[in-house]
Amino acid sequence: MKKVLALLVAAVLSVTLVVSLVACNDKGNGNTLEKVYENVIANGDPTQATGYVEGTNKDIKVALITLHDENSTYDKNFIDAFKAAIAAKGLTEANYAITTADEKAECYDKAAKFARDGYTAVFADSFGHESFIMQAAEEFPDVQFYHATGTHAHTEKDLPNFHNAFASIYEGRYVAGVAAGLKLQSMYETGALTTKNFKVGYVGAWPYAEVISGYTSWFLGVKSVIDTIEGATLNMEVRYTNSWYDETAERTTAQALIDMGCQLISQHADSMGAPTACETAGIPNVSYNGSTEANCPNTFIISSRINWQPYFELMLNAAMGGSAVPNEWTGTFASGSVELTALGATAPAAGTQQKLEAVIAQLEAGTLKVFDCSKFTVGGKKLTSYTADVDDAGDFKGETEVVKTEGGVTYFAESYYRSAPYFDVIIDGINAVK
Amino acid sequence: MVNVITSAVLFSAVFLYGCLGEILTEKSGHLNLGIPGIMCMGTAGGAYGVTIVMNAADAAGAEPSYILLLLAALAFGFLFGAAAAAIYGFFTITLRCNQNISGLALTTLGSGLAQFVMNGITDDGIQKTNLSRASRILSKSLPFANDLGWFGQLFLSYGVLVYIAIVVAIIMGIVLKRTRLGLHLRAVGENPATADAVGINVTAYKYGAVTIGGGIAGLGGMFYLLDSTKGSFENSSTIEGFGWLCIALVIFVLWKPNVSILGSILFGLLFLLGYLLGISEPITQNLFKMLPYVVTIIVLIVLSIIDTRENQPPQALGLPYFREER
Amino acid sequence: MNKTFDTIFKIGRVLNIICGFVLGLLFLTKLFALQDSTALVPTIVYGVALIIAVVCFIFAGKAYKKIASGEYTVEHCVILCVTGIASVFAYTVCGVLKIIDRDRTQIVSEPLVRLVKRDSSSVKRNVIVYATTITISLLLGCLLIALVGRGDFFKVLTNVFTGSFSGGEMWVLMQNFALLLGVSAAIIPTFRMKFWNLGGNGQIMIGGVATMLVMHHLGKMGGLSQAVLIPIMIVAAVAAGMIWAVIPAIFKAYFKTNESLFTLMMNYVAVYIVEITIASMNPGGSGVLFARDYRNFGLIDVGNKYLLPIIVVAVITAFMIVYLKYSKHGYEISVVGESANTARYIGVNDKKVTIRTLLLSGAICGIIGLLIVGGKDHMVSTDSAGNMGFTAIMTVWLANCNPIAMIGTCFYVSFITKGMDAAATAIGVTDNSAINIVLGVVYFCIITCSFFINYKLVFRKSEVKPQTKANVAAVDGGANNG
């Protein structure tokens, strides 16, 4: 008996060894990703892209799985965009279902149920849903599964029906940062601020790439304005709440940042905690995922958000018989996926609107790169090369070279090799716990 | 440093209201685990009352009156909380059902109902803004507070609702310790059979304590909406979480309303400590988040080891009273 | 037509409020306690109040049709129902209170209705009570969801059933049912001992943490195979659950520390331990563990992926039934539950029994944590327990701490939760608060059901004359003489 058991264990171990060797070889080194499931960056109206075929079959059923119900701003963003896409495609309530699922096996159960009930497309909106949606995709190869913010679609060759999507929100944050920088500049010019050592604060949720990319791009936006002021310096304090939604934590953290001397706050967190703290303290605030002007009329500057409607329309189109959606897709300003809300009525500086429009035009044209390596330093030195953890194979080590040079500009190519952000460098001027 | 204490005090008022409500309830022998749901209902009540006043003021084209807003918020927050507690009271006092179960059922029902009512209110953009306008009015501090430097900031810079909480705590302490009413209530909580034999109307005291305690706890939810979050509301899970903390806080302050003032400030401080210190590293941050609960457990253990009469929970806590079994 | 209805609605609402107010006043002025009047007057008052309340309910009923067609808002109906319920409630409370709590300075009279604890209840009666509760709560829940979603009541009702029983959904339902039954089996011995173990959530989570640590450090990082991992996981999960449950037990046994609050606080500490565990395993910092990486280090599926928890829990439940009903330990548990003094008198060491029972409870919770983290989700999160610790309290209570009835109640609660969620999705309700309201109402129905099982209402027999001063004196004089 013991011998049999030993043989069994040996067999299992050797099989594991062989499989892992094979997998290793498949990865290769450097940029082999460009051969597999290339990330499609939508640089214009997706319906005008080459190969786009309009679908016409309206007898379809699609499903949306959200983490919380519509009372959460994050999920409401998806639900509203989804309903708008349904209406734009001429579909009705009979064509879709919306449900909530936790980031557990429940997500798989619900996705599998939809697949069994004849739904041809299932979309899940939260980071933790990924494993379970992939599990459903394995089991139902004829149903298309879509997942926002995920990182595995571009490497899973065995799952052609599993898709990831995101948007170049870092560009949206950069523009919001420009608005913030203009506000700081005007505060200095009117004497509200008496020092040229500007300090801003950021309330982040989790210390990982998606959040780091967000605050760095925002910081660089602010810096682009501050750098035009002679002798000015800019520093940013980042604190994490380690939660996507914790009203008290966000409010207290924002208050702590204000007490540290931050003159302007932004955040990547789902509650109204930080904007509320800013309004009470009279500190300008740049919010995320929706305008907070109604509740914070005196301090709201601007907000950036991802508009999922273009992607949903692509998804619906595929379900209706049209062209398939790429496995990895990144929306941009040009595709209508990145949006900025209207500027606040009282807080922003004069002339912000025109300046923002100019910046957006440059971003869309590709002449301005947010992560331009000449505009920031890491440990005192400019970045010339960086291997990021793009394949997210669970080893938490970088393997893809992401610094590119194009048109004479060397930049960190964010959301290029995959849709979900992978910028996890802490640059100089930012004080964050990693 | 002053800012730290000010944040803690502002935050602690939520706990103070909830704690006082639960102390009153527990003094009558009822462990009301429905306090989270009751505080949610208080939020809904406060929002409802404030919305009525703001709508009336807007219709008349005038600025909403401070007194009217305050009264509406207090009255409706109290009423909704008391009504929810009355449901719990009915099931545990009249129907003699197990208190833990009834409380848990009320938590589920209360938070769902409150969320439902709040959604109805905040779905309308105008009402949403009204809530935030009303809360800015209500949380205004004394006008001269800022001029008195650190003293003013530390003691005088809070909205009126915080002071009301402190006043309620002091009154409750006096009533419980020095009045006949309080004596009877404590008797009911310690040994209802004896109290009944002496002629105290046990049921009336129990109902009174549970309902009024529920009303006070409801004010905690109202305070959270109209002062802490300045009128923005998304879901009831945060308030529910605070409700559980209030139940813990009652032990922390040894069932004494006077101690609860300082106790809730200390508790609020422990709760916020990690964030106030700007700690972001996940493991350290979670250890800080654990702090209030660990301290409560320690207090529980120490109290039961020391076992002095004055610091114990009411003896009949959690037990239904059957006159027939006397 | 609209205006007329509006007026009628307003009158009905006012009547409701007056009714409740008047009854409250009557109670306060203790008019009920006046004993020289015959029983007729209070009865007339009750009767009139009841008629008014019923009339108002009929109005509320008519309003439902208007609401379904969208003419009236949900607010209208909610207000009507609330005031109707409030007036009936006031009526009942006043009536019952007056009867149960008599003013000692007044003369005693046989109350109209009396509450008496039942010694036992026939199985037939229990079945009727359960069946009524199930039907009422099901219909009430469907009604609420239909109101909120402005949908068809029957569509909701059918979806509750198809969402739970059709196709693959039956397996999911059985899995949820099995896990809830497992947690209930863990809680039931502690409740029979009158030890209020509210810490089920925490115990499950700690069992899950132990499982996750083994899966990660020995499996993913250590490369051990499943055959070696699984026994280690079982031992780790059981041990972890036992430790977490026995800490409050020790303090209760030796220092009489309040166990409800202790176990409640342990839940929260467990949540943060889970967060710390995730952070330590996830240097990427996203706060979420990628379950797919751990699929090969978890439990092995038996048949389909849902069968393993069902089999394990079936074994646990069978064990618990035998343990509680036929073993010496089970007897000792019920003795300690009756009275700690009696237990000590007959030589049962209540401290030992407390600790032993909580060790068992913790072990079972640990196994459930293992099934969830190692078998179902392949990752641990602060929501791993799914609040089953609290739901299990409900099911155990409804079953009156009877392990066989517990099977039925767990099934019912799992069915209603899953069914209502499916029905809500089917009619397009995107607001989860409606489901919480339904669950709360169902729980209160459950509590009322348990009340009717444990107590009976004794009505005054009509031949018994209310005792007057003369009667009492005669009886007393007679008693003294005899």
Same domain, C95 and C207: no
* Other CB atoms within 10 A of residue A156 CB: 17
Q: Are A289 and A74 in contact (CB under 8 A)?
A: yes
DSSP summary character for residue C224 = -
Task: Kindly indicate the confidence band of residue C20, based on its pLDDT and cuts at 50, 70 and 90.
Answer: low
- Give the minimum alpha-carbon distance from B147 to chain C in angstroms, rounded to a whole number: 42
* Nearest CB to B116 within list C437, C441, C444: C437
Same domain, C201 and C85: no
- Give the minimum alpha-carbon distance from A76 to chain C in angstroms, rounded to a whole number: 10
Six-digit token string for C338: 């009756």
| Strands of A162-167's sheet in order across | A40-41, A328-331, A162-167, A144-148, A121-124, A62-66, A96-100
* Nearest CB to C440 within list B109, B287, B322: B109
Determine the structural domain holding residue C235 and report its residue range: 152-426
What's the CA gap between B286 and B293, in Å, rounded? 12
pLDDT at C431 over 90: no
Looking at beta carbons, which residues of chain B come within 8 Å of A242? 280, 282, 285-286
Q: Domain B2-325 belongs to what topology?
A: ABC transporter involved in vitamin B12 uptake, BtuC (1.10.3470)
Q: Which residue has the higher pLDDT, C133 or A376?
A: A376
Closest residue in chain C to residue B298, using alpha carbons only: C262
Six-digit token string for B301: 């253990």
Domain map (residue ranges) of chain B: 2-325
C376 contacts A99? CB cut-off 8 A: no
pLDDT at B148 over 50: yes
* Other CB atoms within 10 A of residue C5 CB: 15
Q: Which residue has the higher pLDDT, B140 or B29?
A: B29
What's the CA gap between B279 and B50, in Å, rounded? 37
* Nearest CB to C447 within list B37, B97, B119: B97
Q: Output the domain CATH number for residue A294.
A: 3.40.50.2300
Same domain, C31 and C162: no
Which of B149-163, C219-233, C388-402 bottoms out in mean pLDDT, i.e. has the lowest?
A: B149-163
A396 contacts C284? CB cut-off 8 A: yes
Mean pLDDT of C89-111: 48
Same domain, A221 and A322: no
Same domain, A196 and A125: no
Mean pLDDT of A288-301: 90
| Total domain count, chain A | 2
Q: Which residue has the higher pLDDT, A424 or C62?
A: A424
Q: Is C162 exposed, middle or buried (0-12, 13-18, 19+ CB in 10 A)?
A: middle
pLDDT at C472 over 50: no
Q: What is the pTM of this model?
A: 0.83
A273 contacts B234? CB cut-off 8 A: no
Same domain, A285 and A347: yes
Domain presence at residue C46: yes
- Give the minimum alpha-carbon distance from A26 to chain C in angstroms, rounded to a whole number: 18
CB of C251 less than 8 A from some CB of B: yes
| pLDDT tens digit sequence for A122-178 | 999 999 999 999 999 999 999 999 999 999 998 888 899 999 999 999 999 999 999
* Nearest CB to B234 within list A71, A249, A257: A71
Which residues of C sit within 8 Å Cβ distance of A? 167-169, 172, 220, 223, 225-228, 275, 279, 283-288, 290-293, 376-379, 381, 383-384, 386, 421, 425-426, 428, 430-433
* Nearest CB to C283 within list A9, A98, A396: A396
The distance in angstroms from the start CA to the end CA of chain C is 73
* Nearest CB to B105 within list C96, C103, C443: C443
Task: Kindly indicate the confidence band of residue B236, based on its pLDDT and cuts at 50, 70 and 90.
Answer: confident
Mean pLDDT of B169-196: 91
Q: Which residue has the higher pLDDT, B4 or B217?
A: B217
Same domain, C68 and C166: no
Same domain, C225 and C316: yes
- Give the minimum alpha-carbon distance from A77 to chain C in angstroms, rounded to a whole number: 13
pLDDT at A29 over 60: no
Q: Which of C174, C293, C377, C431 to mutate to test the interface with A (most CBs of A within 10 A)?
A: C377
Same domain, A126 and A241: no
B276 contacts A252? CB cut-off 8 A: yes
Same domain, C80 and C214: no
- Give the minimum alpha-carbon distance from C278 to chain B in angstroms, rounded to a whole number: 9
Closest residue in chain B to residue C254, using alpha carbons only: B305
Enumerate residues 356 to 395 of chain A having a beta carbon within 8 A of any beta carbon in chain B: none
Q: Are C211 and C236 in contact (CB under 8 A)?
A: yes
pLDDT at C278 (0 to 100)? 94
Same domain, A74 and A174: no
Same domain, A225 and A295: yes
Task: Kindly indicate the confidence band of residue C457, based on its pLDDT and cuts at 50, 70 and 90.
Answer: confident
Q: Which residue has the higher pLDDT, A244 or A18?
A: A244
pLDDT at B218 (0 to 100)? 95
Domain presence at residue A23: no
Same domain, C80 and C163: no
Same domain, C306 and C380: yes
pLDDT at A83 over 50: yes
Looking at beta carbons, which residues of chain B come within 8 Å of A253? 275, 278
pLDDT at A195 over 60: yes
pLDDT at B152 over 80: no
DSSP summary character for residue C375 = I
- Give the minimum alpha-carbon distance from A416 to chain C in angstroms, rounded to a whole number: 20
Mean pLDDT of C420-426: 89
Domain presence at residue A19: no
Q: Which range, A46-55, A215-224, B230-239, C155-164, is most confident?
A: A215-224
Domain presence at residue A20: no
- Give the minimum alpha-carbon distance from B289 to chain C in angstroms, rounded to a whole number: 7
Alpha helices (runs of H) in chain B, residue ranges in sequence order: 2-27, 35-60, 66-89, 99-122, 125-138, 149-151, 160-178, 180-190, 192-198, 202-223, 237-252, 257-276, 282-306
Same domain, C303 and C370: yes
Q: What percent of chain A has pLDDT over 70?
A: 91
Domain presence at residue C460: no
Task: Kindly indicate the confidence band of residue B127, based on its pLDDT and cuts at 50, 70 and 90.
Answer: confident
CB of C106 less than 8 A from some CB of B: no
C93 contacts B115? CB cut-off 8 A: no
| pLDDT tens digit sequence for A347-370 | 999 999 999 999 999 999 889 999
C169 contacts A113? CB cut-off 8 A: yes
C280 contacts B324? CB cut-off 8 A: no
Mean pLDDT of C401-414: 91
B100 contacts C276? CB cut-off 8 A: no
Same domain, A315 and A423: no
A209 contacts C379? CB cut-off 8 A: no
Closest residue in chain C to residue A9, using alpha carbons only: C225
Q: Which range, C75-79, C82-86, C171-175, is most confident?
A: C171-175
Q: Which range, A32-36, A233-237, C39-43, is most confident?
A: A233-237
Task: Kindly indicate the confidence band of residue B252, based on its pLDDT and cuts at 50, 70 and 90.
Answer: confident
C441 contacts B199? CB cut-off 8 A: no
> C113 forms bridges with which residues in the sheet?
C459
pLDDT at C62 (0 to 100)? 57
Measured over the CA atoms of residue B162, residue B164, residue B167 and residue B173, the dihedral's sign is negative
Nearest to B85 by CA among B30, B15, B19, B17: B30
Backbone angles phi, psi at C7, to 5 degrees: -65, -45
Q: Which of A69, A79, A212, A248 to mutate to test the interface with B (most CBs of B within 10 A)?
A: A248
Looking at beta carbons, which residues of chain C come within 8 Å of A97? 425-426, 428
Q: Which of B3, B123, B230 to mutate to test the interface with A (most CBs of A within 10 A)?
A: B230
| Total domain count, chain C | 2
pLDDT at C100 over 50: no
pLDDT at C359 over 80: yes
Q: What is the residue-averaged pLDDT of chain B?
A: 87
Domain presence at residue C398: yes
Mean pLDDT of C403-429: 90
Q: Are A372 and A382 in contact (CB under 8 A)?
A: no
Domain presence at residue C137: no
Mean pLDDT of A90-117: 93
Closest residue in chain B to residue C433, using alpha carbons only: B112
| pLDDT tens digit sequence for C246-298 | 999 999 999 888 888 899 899 999 999 999 999 999 887 888 899 988 988 88
- Give the minimum alpha-carbon distance from B267 to chain C in angstroms, rounded to a whole number: 14
Looking at beta carbons, which residues of chain B come within 8 Å of A260? 278
Q: Which residue has the higher pLDDT, C176 or A6?
A: C176
A9 contacts C225? CB cut-off 8 A: yes
Same domain, A115 and A233: no
Task: Kindly indicate the confidence band of residue C68, based on its pLDDT and cuts at 50, 70 and 90.
Answer: low
CB pairs under 8 A between B and C: 160
Domain presence at residue C299: yes
CA trace torsion A357, A363, A364, A367 (10° rounding): 120
Give the β-pairing of A285-288 and A197-204.
Answer: unpaired
A242 contacts B282? CB cut-off 8 A: yes
Nearest to A130 by CA among A105, A147, A109: A147
| pLDDT tens digit sequence for A376-400 | 999 999 999 999 989 888 888 888 8
pLDDT at C63 over 60: no
pLDDT at C15 (0 to 100)? 58
C226 contacts A103? CB cut-off 8 A: no
Per DSSP, the three-state class of A374 is helix
Chains that touch A (3 or more CB pairs under 8 A): B, C
B105 contacts C394? CB cut-off 8 A: yes
Q: Output the domain CATH number for residue C185.
A: 1.10.3470
B129 contacts A242? CB cut-off 8 A: no
pLDDT at C358 over 90: yes
Backbone angles phi, psi at A50, to 5 degrees: -70, 140
pLDDT at A92 over 50: yes
Closest residue in chain C to residue B318, using alpha carbons only: C260
Q: What is the residue-averaged pLDDT of chain A?
A: 88
Domain presence at residue C172: yes
Measured over the CA atoms of residue C76, residue C79, residue C82 and residue C88, the dihedral's sign is negative
Looking at beta carbons, which residues of chain A come within 8 Å of B115? 71
CB of C17 less than 8 A from some CB of B: no
Task: Kindly indicate the confidence band of residue C362, based on its pLDDT and cuts at 50, 70 and 90.
Answer: very high
DSSP summary character for residue A361 = H
Determine the structural domain holding residue A393 and report its residue range: 169-308+333-431
Looking at beta carbons, which residues of chain B come within 8 Å of A252? 7, 11, 272, 275-276
| pLDDT tens digit sequence for C217-240 | 998 888 888 889 999 999 999 999
Same domain, C159 and C93: no
pLDDT at C89 over 80: no
* Nearest CB to C436 within list B108, B251, B305: B108
